């Protein structure tokens, strides 16, 4: 099964199949109908402390990836739930961050792909 990553504000398309929101907070300005989310896995998102520390600063990207992977290693129940959902169909991990190159969904996609 394919695992894609995209901003939740982008329109749903054919390759989305199962859409999983991987943010802890609901995206601003978006209704549940507009988002077309199938599953919301809040617990897979970075901790509030890690999110505040990162502060969307690309200079902290390398360290953020390490810290988030450490959190994922300790959060096996959420990781296993995500893997169960991915195993059923092509899946798109949705995130709200504006930076498409430096966000937790990218780290999550790589992490799940290796484990």
Q: H-helix or E-strand containing 95?
A: strand 91-95
pTM: 0.93
- 81: which DSSP letter? H
Distances (CA, A) of 112 to 10, 37, 86: 23, 20, 9
Tokens of 80: 């296993």
Domain that holds residue 65: 3-114
d(CA 21, CA 25): 9
pLDDT tens track for 3-47: 999 999 999 988 888 999 999 999 999 999 999 999 999 999 999
Count the domains in the chain: 1
pLDDT tens track for 23-33: 999 999 999 99
Q: H-helix or E-strand containing 6?
A: strand 3-7
């Amino acid at each position: 099964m394919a695992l894609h990553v995209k901003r939740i504000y982008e329109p749903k398309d054919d390759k989305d199949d199962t859409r999983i929101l991987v943010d802890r907070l609901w995206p601003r300005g978006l209704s549940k109908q507009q988002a077309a989310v199938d599953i919301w896995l809040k617990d897979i998102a970075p901790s509030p402390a890690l999110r505040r520390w990162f502060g969307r600063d690309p200079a902290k990207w390398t360290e953020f990836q390490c810290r988030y992977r450490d959190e994922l290693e300790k959060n096996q129940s959420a990781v296993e739930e995500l893997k169960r959902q991915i195993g059923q169909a092509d899946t798109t991990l949705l995130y709200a961050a504006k930076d498409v190159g430096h966000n937790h969904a990218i780290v999550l996609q790589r992490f799940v792909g290796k484990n």
